[in-house]
Chain A
Amino acid sequence: MIPAAFEYSRATSVAEAVDLLRRGGGEAKVLAGGHSLIPLMRLRLAQPTALVDINGVKELDYIRMEEGRVRVGALTRHATVVRSAEVRRHLPLLAEIAGEVGDPQVRSRGTVGGVLAHADSAGDYPTLAVMLDAEIVTDRRRIAARDFFQHLFTTPLAPDELVCEVVFPAAPGPHRYLKFRRRLFDWAIVAAGVQQLDGGWRVGLTNCGPTPVRATAVEAALAQGATPSAASAAAADGLNPSSDLRASSEYRRHLARVLTRRALEQAA
């Protein structure tokens, strides 16, 4: 399967990337790790007429700790997040999630910014971003994660807008992310994440709808002293996940409850 032809250009700075995207009109797309875009192009589900390769934009490849926040540059590879001592110390859940994205080959190439911009409902970082109230910083504005994931594959990004970084609060406390899948390297059929932060629990669900879900009913029950088992009964309230070949809607709702309970019980 051969992708359709396109114009190729390489950017070495954020400014140059935005300029190249602008010159490509609405048809140019960013090429980061390519691990969502190239599969779509091979199937010709995506046929961009121009690609702007940002792999040379070194200024977007960093992890920085700053005033209780963890700032991750958009071009940071999954493998780099896994190995980062800073992330392991200040936001271990992010490192653990990164280690569960795809397989070693996917983690060599795929980027944090690419997962966010792609906004797949099975993407793992979007859930963490929403449950921790992270901020997505582009070349021109800051967008709260809860406003960023608008629908399946849909974000407020303009065609010439570049995701530059994501800013998480540091959260070294108890946490767990449980991903249910048939094969180790697969995307989540459903996943549940829990993180203790500021004395309370944050709870998020992956692939239970077109966007990541923050399970606020579970958070509220826990705040009132409910056990993990009692609180997780509310995990699927109000959710109507779609059915597909891998799981029915009802099974996904069941997984949401079970995985939330297990994540709370196993959080460490």
Chain B
Amino acid sequence: MALLDIRNLSVSFETPQGLVKAATQVSLALEYNETLALVGETGCGKSVVVNAIMKLLPANAKVDGRVIYRGRDLLSLDEKEMARIRGQDIAIIFQNPSLALNPVYKISEQVSESMILKKRSSRSRAEEISSQLLQRLGLKGRESSYPFQLSGGMNQRAMIACSVVLGPKIIIADEPTKGLDQSMVGQVLGEIRKAKEVNGASLLLITHDMEVARQISDKVAVMYCGEVMEVGKTEEVLQAPSHPYTQALLDSLPERGFLPIPGPSPSMIDPPEGCRFHPRCPWRRDLCSIERPVQKSTTTGWVRCCR
């Protein structure tokens, strides 16, 4: 039994332009102590999936499916029960640290807040723990700074501290390396990995950087236009991909010669019929535009492709 089991999760948004089908029947499992990387081009629905797990989507979102955590379906919990799970069991690190931290509180206050409110720690105890944590993350002497006084990378680390301070069992990191320069990427990934190991947690990492996925993850899931196309052990997916989209993603990496994926990104209001990737697929057959492919097993996972 996996720690977190996502089954047929679908999310759509009602907008004036029409129904945005941001995620369609997404199924993923996150095992104990595992790191799963969720990759895919921008706008394919990665953030929507993890925000659905955390029940953080705005009111215009419609969510279907099940998200089983320790035998309970998170989607059926009410706001109060969910608040208990957030932060303590499942924590998330947002994409944009400088906007996610509250501008008018010191970072140490923002880290210790969770301890005081959720663990009922005394203020002094909470502050001690939070300053230890911030120091471990390399923010020594910066504990009483405000977010606007820190660089993006520092805020990123402050947010990591905020998110992991309660020792969550699952850490979700939404593009923690986006916008960081190369030297920072390794450092931030190291911090996240450390936080994961200290707590014995599992990590769900969103990225569109395949190199990051290779470095850190045990398993990789590839998303395209709201669907998961392929899941498997990292080595298999990155060495011998089974889905043409995964192949195309790898070919677009700099070291493979920057081959762009042909054709435009699909609309999420009118996604392509049949296989969603078929308009851009080099191996397209007639069937692809008619029938949605079923999941087929691969050596270490599965793929959604008819080939």
Do A and B truly interact?
no
A residues contacting B by CB (< 8 A) are: none
B residues contacting A by CB (< 8 A) are: none
